[in-house]
Amino acid sequence: MRILLIGNPNCGKTTLFNLLTGQYQKTGNFTGVTTEEKKGFFKKNKDIEIIDLPGIYSLSSVSLDQEKAIEFIKKNKFDKIINVVDGTVLERSLYLTTLLTTLNLPITVAVNMCDEMEKKHLKLNEDKLESLFNVKVVKISAVKKINIDKLMEVSILNDKTPRFINLIDATAIYRFIEDKIDEIVVKKDSLLTVDKIDNVLLNNFLSIPILVIVLSFMFFVTNKVGGYFSNQISKTVDAISNSVEKKFIYNGMPTWFISLSTNALIKGVGAVFSFLPQILILFFFLTIIEESGYASRIAYILDRTFKCLNLSGKAVIPLLVASGCSVSGIMATRTIENEKERKKVIFLLPFVPCGAKMALFSWLSIALFKGSVFISVSLYLLSFFVIIVLSKFLFKKSAFDGDFIIEIPPLRMPRLKDVFFVLTEKIKEFMLKAGSVIFIVSLVIWGLSNFNFYGYNNGKIEESFLYLIGDLIKYIFYPLGFLKKEIAISLLSGILAKEGIVEALKMLTPNVKSLFDFSFTAYSFLTFILFSPPCVATLSIIRKEVGEKSLFKMILSWIIIAYLVALSINLIGFIYYYNSYLILLVILVIILLLKISITFYKKSFNFCTKSCKRKGIKWKIKR
Partner 1 sequence: MRLSDLKLNNSGIVVAMLNGKKERDKLNVMGLTIGSVVTLKRRAMFKKTLIIKVRDFYLAIRKETADKIMVEI
Q: What is the contact surface with partner 1 in residues (CB under 8 A)?
A: 57-58, 60, 62, 88-92, 95, 170-171, 174-175, 178, 191-192, 194, 202, 204-205, 207-208, 296, 299-301, 303-304, 307, 313, 401-410, 623
What are the backbone dihedrals phi and psi of residue 34, each rounded to the nearest 5 degrees, phi first?
Answer: -85, 120
CB of 304 to partner 1, least distance (A): 5
Nearer to partner 1, 300 or 439 (CB): 300
Smallest distance from partner 1 to CB 90, Å: 8
Q: Please state the closest distance from residue 343 (CB atom) to partner 1, in A.
A: 19
The beta strand positions in 42-106, using DSSP E, are: 49-52, 80-86
**What number of residues does the chain have?**
623
**What is the smallest separation between the CB atom of 108 and partner 1, expressed in angstroms?**
23
Nearer to partner 1, 279 or 301 (CB): 301
Nearer to partner 1, 262 or 310 (CB): 310
Return the number of the residue (202 or 572) whose C-beta is nearest partner 1. Answer: 202
Buried b (16+ CB within 10 A) or exposed e, 175-189: ebbeeebeebbeeee
Minimum CB separation of residue 417 from partner 1 in Å reads 25
Instruction: Give ∠ CA 278-279-281 in degrees, rounded to 5.
Output: 65
Q: At what angle do helices 276-292 and 355-369 cross, to 10 degrees?
A: 140
Q: How far is the CB of 205 from partner 1 (least distance, A)?
A: 8
Residues 6+ apart with CB under 8 A from 468: 452
Question: Which residues, other chains included, contact 190 with Cβ-Cβ below 8 Å and sequence gap of 6+?
Answer: none
On whether the CB atoms of residues 75 and 130 are closer than 8 A, the answer is: no
Residue 90 or 279 with smaller CB distance to partner 1? 90
Q: How far apart are CA 445 and CA 593, in angstroms?
A: 36
Per the CB < 8 A criterion, the answer to whether 469 and 492 are in contact is yes
Whichever of 183 and 403 has its CB closer to partner 1, that residue is 403
282 in Cβ contact with 353 (< 8 Å): no
Please state the closest distance from residue 62 (CB atom) to partner 1, in A: 5
Min dist CB 406 to partner 1, Å, is 5
Residue closer to partner 1, measured from CB, 245 or 337: 337
**What does 473-529 look like in DSSP terms, one character per residue?**
HGGGGGGGT--SHHHHHHHHHTTT-THHHHHHHHHH-S-GGGG-SSHHHHHHHHHHH
Q: Smaller CB distance to partner 1: residue 191 or 593?
A: 191
Instruction: Using the CB atoms, write b or e for 611-623: b if 16+ within 10 Å.
Output: ebeeebeeeeeee
